[in-house]
Every structure is written in C-alpha cells, then in structure tokens.
Amino acid sequence: MNNLILIRHGQSLWNKERRFTGWADIDLTPQGKFEAEYAGNLIKDLNIQFDSYFTSELKRAINTLKIILKILNKSEKKFNRAWELNERHYGDLTSLNKDEIIKKHGIEQVQIWRRSYDIAPPKMNPQHSYRNDIYNKIKKNKLRESESLKDTFDRVVPYYEKNIEPLILSKKNILISAHGNSLRALCKKLFLISKEKIINFELPTGNPLLIRFEENLKIKDYRYLDKKRSKKILFNV
C-alpha cells in the first residue's frame, strides 16, 4: 500500500485579509507558518518514507513544503515545482477584498465567480499591478487571464497523470503542497466528485489529507490528520 498526502498551504496574508489571491505571490502569515509546522509534525508521526514532493510556483505553497521538509529532516531543495499546480487564476478579482466585492456586485454574482464549476471571473486587465513575470516561461496558448475551476482541472489533472500518477502506480509515497482550488480539482479526479458536489467541497489550510491506495490506484481509505480542523468530506469512495 502506498500513500499520497495533499496539503493546502498554511494561512497566507491575503487569506487573513479575505482578498482574492490566485496567482499573486503572497507569503504565509505567522499563523500559516504555525499551521505548516503543526502539519509537518502530524506527517512525521506517520513514519512514512516519502519518495517525491511536489508544489506550485507560488511561495505560500513552496514555503509550507519547506517547513514540512525541515521537520521531516529532508532537504529543503529537493522537490518538484510546477505552475500547473498553482492556485486558480482569479483574473481581475486578484487582490480585491471579498466583502467589498460582495457589496459592489452582490453575493449571488460573487458566489458564481467563486464556486461555479465552469464560469471564470472577469479577465485580468493587462495593466493589473499583480501580473507576475515568473509566468513568462508558460506557453501563451496555455496561459489564461482568468480561470474557472474547470480550467484549473484541465491543467492540474494532465500534470498529475503524467508526472505523479505513474509514481503512485510504482508504489511511491508522494506529498503535494498546493492550493485550495488546484487540490479541489485534483480531488475531483481522485474521488470522482461531480461538478455539482465539488462546489461545496473545500480543504482547510494546513491540514494534511492522507489518501492510501491499493493496487491499480484504487483508494483504500482517506482522512485528515488534524481531526479538530477537518472539513466534512462530502464524497464516498
């Protein structure tokens, strides 16, 4: 039996300030660093020998992983970074306060932008202050100015199937530190969650989700390591 751990990065500054973050490269708060440390100790207690580590190109996920690796006494440099594991791109909503956007556009419209499966927020203005040059290496035909969860799924899942799934098939233990929506997209694939149910599924920050596989990628069981901070899992295996 082999293991996959999914962890959403610890609380970021914009999580705390209730701002749309997306691809803006915002770091962890002290609380977020504590969550990562706590998660690292929970993972350490499992006594699992991990073979590979994956994260996004965003520092809040990278630094969460580095904190965990330090606790596991592993090299903080030996991991795989991929833009495909980045958070969902929130387009022109990036950096805006969620409560202020609700006042301006109404809660129904904001909920559509946040939680619908295939409707993206308004595209990012070319002059937006949070455009980031780390994406220059992304082929223009793959780069979007805004993403729905479906768009996120369409980049996360092919990357997973090409780079991570074969490792799991070969009985390797894997840890992925990523983001709320990129991990929601991955969970949609792993647990065969419908687009209707995925709307209500959310991973808490800094709480590792342990998934154990049998042969042929069949999921044996799964659980959050921090039971006190678990979100209700709305799907069945």
Residues marked as catalytic:
9, 87
CA separation for the pair 119, 83 (Å, rounded)? 21
DSSP state of 197: T
Which residues of the chain form beta strands (DSSP E)? 2-8, 52-55, 80-81, 174-178, 209-213, 219-224
CA separation for the pair 234, 198 (Å, rounded)? 8
Q: What backbone torsions phi and psi does residue 4 show, to the nearest 5 degrees?
A: -125, 125
Least Cα distance to 122 among 110, 138, 134, 133 occurs for 110
Q: For residue 220, what are the CA distances in angstroms to 5, 44, 116?
A: 14, 21, 30
CA separation for the pair 52, 176 (Å, rounded)? 9
Strands 209-213 and 2-8: antiparallel
Sign (positive/negative) of CA torsion 71, 74, 75, 80?
Answer: negative
